[in-house]
């Protein structure tokens, strides 16, 4: 595998700050917006692209944000404005928490935060769209969470993540924050990562503190655990390190990012199944169970052929000690793990642990959530096989996009299709609606179509010929949205170009 260098200059979060407008009041911002000031439009173009429609949309959102802030807090506070995008994952699903690569891109939908320094340590948050009730809490070394599932925990996780990184809340003051987002929620497009990162960037910017973007992505990935997800670092890395015009091959431990171009003449169309994949509900439990199954598989594979090295915790570590490569790793998984689900007594015997010890260690996520044995047992063969074959597909996708042969779109699309089959059959994260959407997309001429994100609902991602994207959208509308009587809803389908990562509009 090629290992791109860890290069600070690749991701100029700081440069994005340098292009930002100086701190101002909401009153001034509203005035500049109403006079169509050139520097403001330039800042929006820098973040969203130069098309007049994109700049107009950005100005409209900023207007609503400034009005909301002024009405909720004060029109005369000295404010900063930051943004963090959602992401769509093209290939490499459920590999990140195994330490294995992914290939997402940041999208043009994002979360905007307008913030100012509070007079005390209180953090107050108000949402422009009114989707979330206002929340307030105190900034302190250890911030106690709200009730499980409360949206305010995402704000707390952002603050706690940075405070943990600094080791103290000294020198900080609280924040007044107005938040506006247009990333569809619970759709597999990482609205929660966008939200958390925007809040953290607001804290950094208000306090004029800086973090290297790669380190920021690592800190934010850790902070996700505050909300009980044992997730990997893909969403945070894509949102922070996103590049306009490029998707990202991301490797972990240490975090490394390589921008790659999509095949020429293609477009990415994302279709929402309208099945909610809520991180706070059943999808979270299913997700955490997959994490546990991967850890159990790693332990069983190691027990079957122990290496002299330290016991691997992740499939990436097991792989690294298996020098014979990915193809051979798949063969070894097929030969070592049996297809029947594993029950706790058998696992305890193989791993020479008591069942209680097993429950308390490998079956407990690093967020402290104990994952009970599923009624049919743990599926180790299928889960490990998905992760390793998916890794092989990500590497193959990178090779296609790097060499960019004339049939790159077809070959990349084929890898996406194979990824979907593996997500469905080996990882069991699809659902009937996603299946319908994927087959509608293939019938409508997609080079490749697959579920994206954690699964269990949410969106599909489709690689389509760019000039046929409008017809593709109509065909999927006829095949899926109309029969399900969803065609009246906004935001069913999106054409996304790779967008730039998190940044600062007003510093
Ligand atoms: C969620 C997690 C990510 C990743 C994906 C699945 O989005 O937050 O870390 O594991 O699921 O690929």
Cβ of 231 less than 6 Å from ligand 1: yes
Closest CA to 274 of 480, 38, 18, 25: 480
CA distances from 462 to 288, 402, 467 (A): 26, 20, 14
Q: How far is the CA of 231 from the centre of ligand 1 (A)?
A: 6
- Return the pLDDT at 280: 54
- Burial string for 298-327 (b: 16+ CB within 10 Å, else e) reads bbbbbeeeeeeeeebbbbbbbbeebeeebe
Burial class of residue 288 in the structure, from the number of CB atoms within 10 Å of its CB (0-12 exposed, 13-18 middle, 19+ buried): buried
- CB-CB contact of 162 with 200 (8 Å): yes
- CB-CB contact of 502 with 19 (8 Å): no
- CB-CB contact of 449 with 416 (8 Å): yes
Q: What is the DSSP string of 339-401?
A: SSPBPHHHHHHHHT--HHHHHHTTTB-TTS-B-PPPTT-B-HHHHHHHHHHHHHHHHHHHHHH
Cβ of 453 less than 6 Å from ligand 1: yes
Q: How far is the CA of 102 from the centre of ligand 1 (A)?
A: 10
- Return the pLDDT at 18: 58
235 flagged as catalytic: yes
- CB-CB contact of 48 with 108 (8 Å): yes
Rounded to an integer, what distance in angstroms lies between the CA atom of residue 132 and that of residue 154?
Answer: 12
Q: How far is the CA of 454 from the centre of ligand 1 (A)?
A: 5
Catalytic residue selected from 96, 110, 218, 235 = 235
Cβ of 322 less than 6 Å from ligand 1: no
- Return the pLDDT at 276: 87
- Return the pLDDT at 338: 98
Over its length of 507 residues, how does the chain's per-residue pLDDT go in tens digits?
334 444 443 333 544 555 799 999 999 999 999 998 899 999 999 899 899 999 999 999 999 999 999 999 999 999 999 999 999 999 999 999 999 999 999 999 999 999 999 999 999 999 999 999 999 999 999 999 999 889 999 999 999 999 999 999 999 999 999 999 999 998 999 999 999 999 999 999 999 999 999 999 999 999 888 887 778 999 999 999 999 999 999 999 999 999 999 999 999 999 999 998 765 567 888 999 999 999 999 999 999 998 766 899 999 999 987 667 899 999 999 999 999 999 999 999 999 999 999 999 999 988 788 999 999 999 999 999 999 999 999 999 999 999 999 999 999 999 999 999 999 999 999 999 999 999 999 999 999 999 999 999 999 999 999 999 999 999 999 999 999 999 999 999 999 999 999 999 999
């Amino acid at each position: 595998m090629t290992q791109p260098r860890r290069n600070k200059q690749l991701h100029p979060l700081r440069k994005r700050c340098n292009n930002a407008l100086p701190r101002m009041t909401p009153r001034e911002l509203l005035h500049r917006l109403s006079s169509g000031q050139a520097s403001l439009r330039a800042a929006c173009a820098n973040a969203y692209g130069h098309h007049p429609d994109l700049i107009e949309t950005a100005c409209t959102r900023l207007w609503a944000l400034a009005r909301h802030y002024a009405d909720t807090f004060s029109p005369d506070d000295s404010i900063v404005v930051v943004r963090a995008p959602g992401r769509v994952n093209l290939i490499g699903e459920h590999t990140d928490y195994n330490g294995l690569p992914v290939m997402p891109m940041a999208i043009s939908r994002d979360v905007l935060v307008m913030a100012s320094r509070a007079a005390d340590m209180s953090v107050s948050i108000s949402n422009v769209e009114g989707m979330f009730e206002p929340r307030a809490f105190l900034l302190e070394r250890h911030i106690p969470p709200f009730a499980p599932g409360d949206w305010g925990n995402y704000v707390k996780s952002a603050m706690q993540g940075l405070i943990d990184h600094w080791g103290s809340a000294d020198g900080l003051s609280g924040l007044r924050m107005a938040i506006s987002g247009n990333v569809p929620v619970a759709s597999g497009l990482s609205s929660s990562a966008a939200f958390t990162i925007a809040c953290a960037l607001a804290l950094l910017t208000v306090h004029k503190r800086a973090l290297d973007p790669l380190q920021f992505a690592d800190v934010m990935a850790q902070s996700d655990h505050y909300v009980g997800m044992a997730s990997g670092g893909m969403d945070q890395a894509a949102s922070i390190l996103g590049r306009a015009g490029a998707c990202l091959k991301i490797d972990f431990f240490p975090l490394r990012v390589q921008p790659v171009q999509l095949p020429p003449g293609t477009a990415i169309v994302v279709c929402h199944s309208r099945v909610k994949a809520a991180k706070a509900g059943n999808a979270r439990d299913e997700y955490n169970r997959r994490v546990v199954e991967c850890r159990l598989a790693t332990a069983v594979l190691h027990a079957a052929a122990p290496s002299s090295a330290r016991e691997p915790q992740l499939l990436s570590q097991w792989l690294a000690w298996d020098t014979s490569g990915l193809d051979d790793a798949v063969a070894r998984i097929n030969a070592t793990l049996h297809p029947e689900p594993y029950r706790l007594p058998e696992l305890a015997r193989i791993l020479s642990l008591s069942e209680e010890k097993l429950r308390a260690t490998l079956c407990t996520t690093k967020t402290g959530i104990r994952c009970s044995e599923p009624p049919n047992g743990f599926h180790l063969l299928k889960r490990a096989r998905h992760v390793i074959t998916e890794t092989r597909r990500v590497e193959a996708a990178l090779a296609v996009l790097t060499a960019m042969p004339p049939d790159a779109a077809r070959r990349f699309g084929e890898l996406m299709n194979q990824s979907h089959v593996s997500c469905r059959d080996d990882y069991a994260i699809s659902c009937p609606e996603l299946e319908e959407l994927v087959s509608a997309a293939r019938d409508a001429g997609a080079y490749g179509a697959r579920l994206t994100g954690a699964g269990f609902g949410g969106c599909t991602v489709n690689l389509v010929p760019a000039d046929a994207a409008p017809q593709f959208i109509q065909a999927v509308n006829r095949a899926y949205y109309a029969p399900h009587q969803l065609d009246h809803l906004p935001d069913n389908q999106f054409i996304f170009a790779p967008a730039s990562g998190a940044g600062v509009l007003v510093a």
